[in-house]
Amino acid sequence: MSAFIDDLSSTQLYTAIVAATCGLCYVLMGPGDVLNLPSPSSLNLQGNAKETSFSTFKRKQQPKWYLFKYINMGVIAMFLCSVAIFLMNASSYIHNGAMTQFLTGWSLCLCYFFGFLGVFFVHDEVSKEGEEATEDDTNAERKEGKIVSPPRVKKVVHPPAASAPVCSDPASFQPTASAPFNKEMIKELSDDVIADLVLQNKLKDHELEKRLDPFRAVTVRRIIASAKLAQVNNGNTSILNNLPQSPSLDYSKVYGANCEIVVGYLPLPVGMVGPLTLNNESVYVPMATTEGCLVASTNRGAKAICQGGGAHARVVKDGITRAPCVRMATAMDAADLKVWCETPSNFQLLKQAFESTTSFGKLLECTATVAGKNVYLRLVCFAGDAMGMNMVSKGSLKVIDVLQETFPSLQLVALSGNMCTDKKAAATNWLHGRGKSVVVEAIIPKQVVKTTLKTTVEALVHVNINKNLIGSAMAGALGGFNAHASNIVTAIFLATGQDPAQNVESSNCITLMEETPEGDLWISCTMPSIEVGTVGGGTTLAAQSACLEMIGCKGGSRDQPGKNAQRLAQVVAAATMAGELSLLSALAANTLVQAHMTHNRKSTK
């Protein structure tokens, strides 16, 4: 090698050094993969947007900056070592011809120092500035040396919808006269251009069916929805890809999981409510329904909530329940069993047995209720992101095994003794909760009540007291102190793959309204038993999974088990409040019948 280098001319040696430098530059700074993302202009959703386009831009993959840290250390160490070696025996190296090798190595080191040494340090400072700027906007965390990236990294708040299909507003029944395009002109435009017009508020979203046709209107609206959803889902424009636009169903996903003796399926239209500002970020809510006016009305409530600054929701309790019915030899034995189960040290034995059957489940409570010889053991279990019925049922059987060792006379009558209580109206769910217990509130300025909801704060409070509170009490309602919570709950359940039969207890809700000292409207919904999950069951189907991704809670949370299911519960509560707000406003303004006669009646001819 030494002889080869000695034979090279200065020009050849310099060319070799430059070639090596360029090669190193290509490896480190390589061209990267091209990633297509929606352009910022295509996602400019502000009401005063002057220009919107659905073109895409190309962003190159970042160079491998992190490698410079290790290369810098290696090159510096090599340079210092070579200098030290040379100085220890400089005279011999000068006379035996080895000087050329040292000069070549030092030249390469100097080339690297001039070209690359400072790159890592400069990039490191830029990265620190970027991290400080976005620290409050990111949820990505490092856990056990691995980067965990939740589906939603940055909170985005969209302005209230510039136009909402307000079916209870008589003025909305009339076509918009101010639109600068006639029907035939609109039809000649491309889908992307029409979507641009909607995003620029030059064309009303809910008029697409009238100006185009129902099929093409859905295609255009999906472009609009994808653009909006991309802004609140890290630029992901494919969220709606698995939400069918034309009839389709993967029956292989259904077999052994969702239905038996399958002969077909029923397509349900899915509407999208939003933006709805919840906990300082915008969310869009999918609702599957055949009830005309429901999505439009809920969207009006969402608009009013956004105009008031948004809603805030919190999960105050999280635990699914199962209540096995067991029978003892005597009523005294039943009483002994109750006392034993509620002794803290004994509960720890039950907890240990229960949790041996699951990776995520945690037994939180065991409450025993005695009825003669019968004992009903209401077990409360934290189930992570699953709705949890299978999990709590499996754990309950293990609890029974432990109890039978202590109480040989104990007989299991039924794994579910109806004190759970599942899919039935029950005071125990209303009082003690089941699933997620959520409270949500918002303040609606009096001017918004007047202009968007077309009524007054005083009228709303009056209707709510006399209808939702007094009227429900006179009817002997159980958990039904609301206008139509089950409407919204069921629509979201169908869209997101929940068990629709659990809307019975999940719709437990009390809606409260007050006039604030400033004359604005305060509204809250308290829902003690929302039973939802983001893994298992119907959530595995493609369309339902797409709707969960629309909300930002698809699958299980990798950094905090239960986080996604809790988010879904909060969205259900907030959307319910939006629906309550709009319907009560229609009742207060006496426009409900007119709205439904206009939007929920269609000729069959």
| Residues acting as catalytic residues | 291, 423, 499, 596
Q: What angle do CA 549, 551, 556 make, to 5 degrees?
A: 55
**One-letter identity of residue 159:** P
The DSSP secondary-structure symbol of 148 reads: E
Distance from chain centroid for Cα 84: 60
Measure the CA dihedral 477/481/485/487, to 10°: 40
Measured on CA atoms in the order 18, 23, 29, 31, is the torsion positive or negative? positive
Q: Which residues, 6 or more positions from 340, have their beta carbon under 8 angstroms from its beta carbon?
A: 346, 406, 407
Q: What angle do CA 410, 413, 418 make, to 5 degrees?
A: 125
Residue 108 is encoded by which pair of tokens?
């390469």
Q: Which residues, 6 or more positions from 139, have their beta carbon under 8 angstroms from its beta carbon?
A: 150, 152, 153, 559
Q: Which residues, 6 or more positions from 454, have their beta carbon under 8 angstroms from its beta carbon?
A: 168, 169, 585, 589, 591
**Within 382-538, where are the H helices?**
389-406, 427-432, 446-451, 457-463, 472-474, 485-496, 503-506
Residue 598 is encoded by which pair of tokens?
């206009």
Q: How many CA atoms lie within 13 A of 55 on its CB side?
A: 6
* Residue located via tokens 């949370």: 557
**What's the 3-state SS for 442-461?**
EEECHHHHHHCCCCCHHHHH
Of 445, 446, 452, which Cα lies nearest the Cα of 303? 452
